[in-house]
Amino acid sequence: MQQPGPPPPGGPSTSSRQQNKVFVGGLSWETTDEKLATYFGNFGEVTEAFVSFDRNTGRPRGFGFVCFADPAVVDKVVAQGKHHIDRREVEAKKAVPKEETPAPAAPPGDAAAQKTRKIFVGGLAASVDDAALRAYFERFGGVEDAVVICRPRGAGPAAPAGARARAAAAAAAAVRGR
């Protein structure tokens, strides 16, 4: 198994490597490059396998990539559907290059907003339901999902302080229509 990196001179091109690559999502934090290569080696010759890590924390990000010598193996792996590695059900899909992945719509120059797809809104009144939450946020664009989670009083995360608390209260008040 090769280590991740650019192909050697005269080796496979990026496009041919891409068609031999599988994205594996839902990995356990205990899954290593070696475990990934060993599991998928049962389907065909693995030329590269690696788990992606967060650069800031050094922790695994819960996904990885596997490259095979034969592109037909990719179809076999994806067609199987469910895979189990380290007691977790994982998903295998054909890898898509970053430059071909559509970015979510966000204001130009707002890198944080381009990466954020899910937000938490706290302090909602008991009368706010999923439909009201969805209707409020649809004013700003498409909404994939809106869920109001009801917890017993006194349970849940601690309330933010200062400016964050005021911002959360303002958002909750806006959703309630005040």
| pLDDT tens, position by position, 70-81 | 999 999 999 998
69 and 136 assigned to the same domain: no
Cα–Cα distance, 6 to 4 (Å, whole number):
7
**CATH number of 36's domain:** 3.30.70.330
| E strand residue ranges, the chain | 21-25, 46-53, 60-68, 82-85, 88-94
pLDDT for 137 equals 83
Q: Is the pLDDT of residue 164 over 80?
A: no
| Structure confidence at residue 10 (pLDDT) | 47
pLDDT in tens, 21-45: 999 999 999 999 999 999 999 999 9
Same domain, 21 and 57: yes
